[in-house]
């Protein structure tokens, strides 16, 4: 279990120059809206114990070089539970964020809705969810930090509903709190680490790294989309056009393949640079999201945001040469839609022999996941640029490719199907696989001639 910080300690851990927002005043009759006997006494004891008069503290603070709205829960005040006054403060915080175009950082530690206020407390989740939705519509980034514990409605709104979800090590995270889950439930399933494995948390961050991590994320997610042109706000927020990015230079061998089979052989070479090498060369710094928010993650799909040429923030989704799993496609779709809301261009790197086609992938909804990514690319609100850096295996690769703005490196290929599989379907002997590769016209220069890709990027240093 992670250390439990008070709201003020969590704020100090995250940023500086905290300025508390004015507190909305709501008067209740004695013992609250339900006349719950002893409720006023419980609140007074909580005030004495914590120094806070409600379960949430809201204000603005500077994190790195970015001022953000902070919503910090005080678990010591009635278990950080959400009541009507909590909802008032959270709504006021989001109103401040929209009025001043500030990102929102939630430092969550809550046991859920407050029983002493009954359904009036539970309906605060609708208020919070609406405020979060309004922030998304306004193009404002939302980052959640899950402290111990994060359960119930606080997890299902501010936590899981954030654009980026971070967690402290060992934090209890789950919709069901420890006292209401099944008695035989595995407690390890209700941890930050388990939620990251399940694709619900982007990263588990140690407390000593939290400030630096938040500062990086806020810098990336609030940087103007056209910073090199000196714009004050992102192009999406100002109603302008976001320019596409240029594809990275090729890092592998500069020579074009002589035959189709040469193209396959070069793309499959273990010596060829992979996605991580391209990302490291293109971005001065980057931060990754992880997980599809549907129960899965795929290490073979790298997604996140980075600081690209001229300090411009660019979103990226990159295949790593493995068969892409359904969670990978869903994570990429999540990334592209998030980039669209925040007004950032997208760079995708294609490198896969194809979509995973085992029984588990089918049970996890491979078809629907690929369809969703096709839709995300087709309806992207900001430009998508694609570079094929290795294998371009069928629809599992095409789903990540931008129509009309796809490029290729010299050591890559793109094919309707792998040459070996094409030969097998056509009932050709193995000796004809190489000839089949030529017939498929899968070399980069063939793809240019066919109009499938825009061009072949030059080798770095040429």
Structural contact between residues 169 and 204, judged by C-beta atoms closer than 8 angstroms: yes
Distance CA 150, CA 427 (A): 57
d(Cα 407, Cα 198) in Å, to the nearest integer?
A: 33
C-alpha to C-alpha distance for 226 and 249, rounded to whole angstroms: 21
| SS3 at position 256 | coil
Q: Model-level pTM greater than 0.85? A: yes
Contact 140, 9 (CB under 8 A): no
Pairing of strands 56-63, 16-20: antiparallel
Comparing CA positions, the residue from 289, 303, 296 lying closest to residue 194 is 296
Residues 54 and 85: beta-carbon distance below 8 Å: yes
Closest residue by Cα to residue 457 from 198, 247, 293, 261: 247
CA gap 209, 297 in Å, rounded: 23
The residue behind tokens 């390890």 is 188
**433-442: burial string, b at 16+ Cβ within 10 Å, e else:** bbebbbebbb
| Count of other CB atoms within 10 angstroms of residue 70 | 27
Instruction: List the chain pLDDT tens, one digit each, 462 residues.
Output: 577 899 999 999 999 999 999 988 888 889 999 999 999 999 999 999 999 999 999 999 999 999 999 999 999 999 999 999 999 999 999 999 999 999 999 999 999 999 999 999 999 999 999 999 999 999 999 999 999 999 999 999 999 999 999 999 999 999 877 777 787 778 888 899 999 999 999 999 999 999 999 999 999 999 865 443 333 334 444 445 899 999 999 998 789 999 999 999 999 999 999 999 999 999 999 999 999 999 999 999 999 999 998 899 999 999 999 999 999 999 999 999 999 999 999 999 999 999 999 999 999 999 999 999 999 999 999 999 999 999 999 999 999 999 999 999 999 999 999 999 999 999 999 999 999 999 999 999 999 999 999 999 988 765
Cα 19 to Cα 54, 73, 100, 141: the distances in Å are 17, 16, 14, 20
Burial of 333 (0-12, 13-18, 19+ CB in 10 A): buried
As a whole number of Å, the end-to-end CA separation of the chain is 54
CB 264 within 8 A of CB 413: yes
């Amino acid at each position: 279990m992670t250390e439990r910080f008070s709201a003020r300690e969590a704020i100090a851990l995250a940023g500086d120059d905290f300025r508390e927002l004015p507190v909305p005043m709501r008067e209740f009759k004695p013992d609250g809206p339900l006349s719950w006997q002893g409720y006023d006494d419980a609140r007074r004891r909580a005030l004495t114990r914590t120094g806070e008069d409600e379960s949430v503290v809201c204000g603005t603070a500077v994190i790195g070089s970015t001022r953000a709205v902070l919503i910090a829960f005080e678990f010591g005040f009635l278990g950080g539970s959400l009541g009507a006054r909590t909802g008032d403060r959270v709504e006021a915080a989001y109103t401040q964020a929209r009025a001043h175009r500030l990102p929102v950082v939630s430092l969550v530690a809550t046991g859920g809705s407050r029983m002493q206020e009954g359904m009036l407390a539970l309906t605060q989740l609708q208020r919070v969810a609406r405020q979060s939705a309004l922030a998304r519509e306004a193009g404002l980034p939302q980052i959640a930090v899950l402290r111990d514990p994060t359960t119930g409605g606080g997890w299902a709104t501010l936590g899981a509903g954030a654009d980026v979800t971070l967690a402290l090590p060992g934090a209890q995270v789950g919709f069901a709190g420890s006292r209401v889950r099944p008695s035989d439930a595995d407690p390890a399933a209700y941890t930050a680490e388990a939620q990251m494995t399940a694709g619900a948390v982007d990263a588990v961050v140690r407390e000593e790294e939290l400030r630096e991590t938040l500062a990086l994320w806020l810098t990336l997610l609030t940087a103007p989309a056209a910073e090199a042109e000196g714009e004050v706000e992102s192009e999406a927020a100002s109603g302008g056009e976001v320019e596409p990015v240029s594809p990275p230079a090729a890092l592998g061998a500069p020579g074009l393949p002589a035959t189709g089979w040469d193209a396959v052989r070069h793309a499959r070479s273990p010596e060829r640079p992979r996605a991580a090498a391209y990302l490291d060369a293109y971005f001065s710094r980057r931060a990754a999201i992880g997980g599809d928010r549907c129960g899965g993650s795929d290490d073979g799909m790298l997604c996140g945001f980075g600081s690209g040429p001229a300090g411009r923030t660019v979103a990226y989704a990159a295949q790593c040469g493995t068969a892409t799993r359904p969670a990978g496609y869903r994570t990429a779709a999540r990334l592209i839609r998030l980039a669209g809301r925040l007004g950032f261009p997208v760079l995708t790197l294609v490198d896969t022999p194809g979509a995973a086609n085992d029984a588990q992938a089918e049970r996890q909804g491979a078809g629907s996941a690929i369809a969703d990514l096709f839709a995300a690319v087709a309806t992207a609100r900001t430009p998508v640029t694609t570079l094929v850096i290795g294998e371009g295996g069928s629809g599992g690769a095409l789903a990540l490719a931008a129509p009309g703005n796809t490029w290729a490196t010299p050591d890559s290929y793109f094919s309707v199907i792998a040459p070996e599989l094409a030969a097998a379907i056509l009932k050709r002997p193995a000796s004809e696989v190489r000839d089949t590769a030529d017939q498929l016209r899968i070399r980069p220069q063939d793809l240019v001639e066919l109009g499938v890709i825009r061009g072949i990027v030059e080798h770095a240093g040429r």
